[in-house]
Structure 1
Amino acid sequence: MSNTSKTNFPVVIFFATIYLLAESIYTIQLTIYPKTAQSKNATSFEYSVVLAIFDASIAICSPFIATVMDSTKSSAQSVLIFSLLVEGASLFLFGFMDKINDLQTFLGASIILRIIEGAAASAVFATVFTLVSEYFPGSFGILLLGVLESLTPAGFILGPLIGANLYSVSHKMDDFISVVECITN
């Protein structure tokens, strides 16, 4: 595939969109979850652990993604699709956490979902990098990887803005579920 081919432009937009929205989705929860956890009498330490476990899961799972892809002979495209589906499902289920009344069950389910979400996120990031290297070898691919990395802080900025506005407008997790479902599907 030629690096200068105009047919590759939709692929660039696709990768950039996935990366920006993925980063935004993870941080939407930062504005909504603490208030939900506080309503269940969770301490700030407890809900901070729930939110931080996502990044810990990424750090632990990332080194194994390439090994798993290689050992199962899975294509990067199929791993990307599967991991986006797993992320979407875990985010969708995370929206129902406010329905759980018992604090221990609430925290346990939250931690499990955040671990699953982090593992899927590590697969998304690894496969996007793999696919960018595959579709765009050379200097354009390196530039595109840099652009994708610069979208991380943009997503971190965008997510809380979306989450705070959703929460202030509706005060309901149902709207959060709808937005996450639309973005991830």
Structure 2
Amino acid sequence: MLGLFRTLIHLGCSLPLMWLTWALVSGDESAFGADPSKELIHFLGYNAIVIFCAMFLLGIFLQWRQLNQYQILRRALGLWVFSYAVLHVSAFLWLELALDVRLFGQELIKRPYLILGSVAFLILAMMAITSLPSLKQRLGKRWFSLHQWSYIALAAAAIHYYWSVKSLTIAPIVVGCVALFILAVRLIKNK
């Protein structure tokens, strides 16, 4: 059963990339609106944060239903989150900044939401690297403490998303509410 769920997770998380590949290969110009590079960047970031929220919600559900043997599924979701985040950051650096690292430094000063996005990305990178079985084993109990930073990454990513959209639409509001719910559950659990 675990194998089936893992397959469904990988299939579900790869669907947006399949659609993206189809849209790019087919030359469907309407798929990305008036500013295709910005839409592509937002599309990749949106998928990263949606899967990130799904990872936390799955953990809450599994704990509530006492199905802890399925918590391993969260690892697959976490790696997909990191994959989409890498694509999101890469698209931003390539399409918006033409890979100019100095320009990125200037943009960080002008756009504070980039600082939050960078914090979230660095935490995700740390979590992805330490999810390697050999590092997880070497870190022992410290691994769990290290991965608690994921809650900071979630908060930073949700605020980054809200600020980057620059308009009050339903998606950032829903993501923000879900992130607040996840953080509230965590705070209640810690009491």
> Structure with the greater relative contact order (CA < 8 A, sep ≥ 6): 1 or 2?
1
**TM-score when normalising by structure 2:** 0.39
**TM-score when normalising by structure 1:** 0.39
